[in-house]
Amino acid sequence: MKKLFSLLAILILVAQVQAQLPRIIILATGGTIAGTGASSDRAGYTAGKIPIEDLIGSIPTVKKIANITGEQVASVGSQDMTIDIWKKLAIRANEIFTKNEADAIVITHGTDTMVETAAALAAALPPASGKTIVLTGAMVPYAFGSSDGLFNLGSALSFAQTLPAGVYLAMNGRYFQWDRVRKNRETGVFEAI
Ligand code: ASP
């Protein structure tokens, strides 16, 4: 009986800790962060193949960081991003914030047009939404051990909890305001402007 009470107490404690964690919804759109294939050069892999659930499950400490849920909005390389996908992202983001379904949103995205999507969302969302959106991606496909994707996703989840309301990009351990960053087309590195 004593053991049963201890177990119950632990379960209640775990539930309380879980309830206190921030809630983050990841809206996935594809990109190299979800890419897989025979090799990591551009011709050797396809972007947007790995489902968001697998990405989330690949971060060992994920349950300690936040209450995280993933939604697959699209599965494209961001060179193929469309206005239709932008609309879906904006409508869902607005709904999440209006209905208070989450404290912040992280968006996984290809790097080629990540800045453009960030700008579109910043323009589409009412400033009163008052919450944080962080876009992130990768330069090396998920399927390769050296991928920067999980590191970037982990950083984005942390930044999403601490940054004030607004739209940001998280890459290489840094965050950038959406209108203060560009992707250097020669090096592929995101740099502040
Ligand atoms: N072409 C890919 C895309 O933008 C590259 C990347 O994900 O970084 O989706």
* DSSP code string of the chain: -HHHHHHHHHHHHHHHHHHHSPEEEEEEEESGGG-EES-SSGGGEESS-S-HHHHHHT-TTHHHH-EEEEEEEEEE-GGG--HHHHHHHHHHHHHHHHTT--SEEEEE--STTHHHHHHHHHHHS-GGG--EEEEE--SS-TTSTT-SHHHHHHHHHHHHHHSPSEEEEEETTEEEEGGGEEE-TTT--EEE-
Domain boundaries, the chain: 22-192
Query: In the numeric block, which tokens belong to residue 27?
Result: 């809206």
Choosing from 29, 32, 111, 132, which is the catalytic residue? Answer: 32
Which class in CATH covers the domain with range 22-192? alpha beta
Q: Quick one: pLDDT at residue 61? A: 87
110 lines ligand 1 (CB under 6 A): yes
As averages over each run of 10 residues, the pLDDT of the chain (193 residues) reads 64 58 97 86 83 94 92 97 98 96 98 98 83 96 86 96 96 97 95 97
Please state the φ and ψ torsions of residue 84, each to the nearest 5 degrees: -60, -45
Confidence (pTM): 0.90
Please state the φ and ψ torsions of residue 36, each to the nearest 5 degrees: -150, 160
155 lines ligand 1 (CB under 6 A): no
Q: Quick one: pLDDT at residue 6? A: 65
28 lines ligand 1 (CB under 6 A): no
